[in-house]
Structure 1
Amino acid sequence: MEGKTHRCLILLGSNQGWRIWNLNQALFEINCLPGVIVKICSRIYQEKFIGISGPDILNQVIRIETLLPPFLLLEKFQVIEKRLGRKKDKRWSPRIIDIDILDYHNWMVADENLILPHPRLHLRPASLKGITEVFPNWIHPVFNKKASSLLASLDQQFTIYPDVL
């Protein structure tokens, strides 16, 4: 990949259907995007679904390098979500796949379509735990704290999902 790349932290989530397959397929499709290279993946974490109601959610954090600007990256992720069967649903409802941009090279963006860093990242234990695996020295650009420090202040209600693949 030639040109200036940006480091991004991405969260994959699934709590419907074949959850592991959904995560793996999303990861595969992200890695096939022109201008994107998957660098490292966290373990998969299972936690209670915070939303309307639904089964436990599986989450995985991936670190990528990309040439794509954040809004184009978001569009590409939404295409992947739709292709994998995600429907336009109510906020916080169960879903086949969810692809969130947690951080884009420590940029701060406030737009109706994209907020960076992710506005609830500091409240999500499994996301923070995943970040400690894929980028241990990452510092939240708003709170100026490492993910490990933010994680230590939360009730850590998640488990490592069994490695079945």
Structure 2
Amino acid sequence: MIHRAYIGLGANLGDARAALRAAWLGLQDLGSARVSSLYRTAPVDAQGPDFLNAVVALDTVLEPHALLDALQALEAAQGRERPYRNAPRTLDLDLLSYGSLRWEDARLTLPHPRLHQRAFVLHPLLELAPGLTLPDLGVLADHLPAVADQAIECMGGFEAAVAASNSK
């Protein structure tokens, strides 16, 4: 059975554009995928340089934990380390939602428990799915006013933006 998952992409260390491009290519190997525009955001509850973020809608046959394993393998391939919570990162792939599944165990909570509190998730996610409703969160667009104070800049289409120079 095919499931629609939404995956948040972020990076703020090293060649963030190259890491996001590699993640996008890797995600396409996991199923049929569409990607949002690329966004620049200041870190939230984290330190370091600005993040580059996007969201991918992925139609996949992988079950949630197998998908999480695949995401973590893509992160590791880009040098992801986890020295402490919210550390700057070469690549961060978050499984935001998996259909209408509500799930919580030691490794995975679905929907992602903070997705509605982050402009860097809501804006690209709503770009892909403007009317998206998730369990326990309701209509995601209703959460936009709560993140209006978080700085976010749309940098244009993902493919062109990740190919652009890092000099900006």
Structure 1 length normalisation: TM-score? Answer: 0.90
Q: Does 1:93 align with 2:87?
A: yes
Q: Distance in 2 between matches of 1:81 and 1:154?
A: 27
In the TM superposition, what is the alpha-carbon distance from 1:15 to its structure 2 partner? 0.3
Among residues 146, 158, 165, which one is paired with 1:153 in the alignment? Answer: 146
Matched AA of 2:80: R
Matched AA of 1:153: A
Q: Which residue is 1:103 aligned to?
A: 97
Q: Which residue is 1:5 aligned to?
A: 2
Q: Which consecutive unaligned segments of at least 5 residues does structure 2 have?
A: 164-168
1:108-139 alpha-carbon deviations (Å, 9 max, x no partner): 10111000000100100121111111111211
Q: Which residue is 1:46 aligned to?
A: 40
- Whether the 8 Å CA contact 1:51–1:93 is kept in 2: the answer is no
Structure with more of its chain in helix, by fraction: 2
In the TM superposition, what is the alpha-carbon distance from 1:18 to its structure 2 partner? 1.1
Q: Distance in 2 between matches of 1:107 and 1:140?
A: 9
Q: Which consecutive unaligned segments of at least 5 residues does structure 1 have?
A: none
- Whether the 8 Å CA contact 1:41–1:134 is kept in 2: the answer is yes
Equivalent pairs counted in the alignment come to: 158
Q: Does 1:31 align with 2:8?
A: no
RMSD: 1.4
In the TM superposition, what is the alpha-carbon distance from 1:97 to its structure 2 partner? 0.1
Q: Distance in 2 between matches of 1:87 and 1:143?
A: 30
In the TM superposition, what is the alpha-carbon distance from 1:87 to its structure 2 partner? 1.5
In the TM superposition, what is the alpha-carbon distance from 1:148 to its structure 2 partner? 1.7
**1:153 aligns to what SS in structure 2?**
helix
Structure 2 length normalisation: TM-score? Answer: 0.89
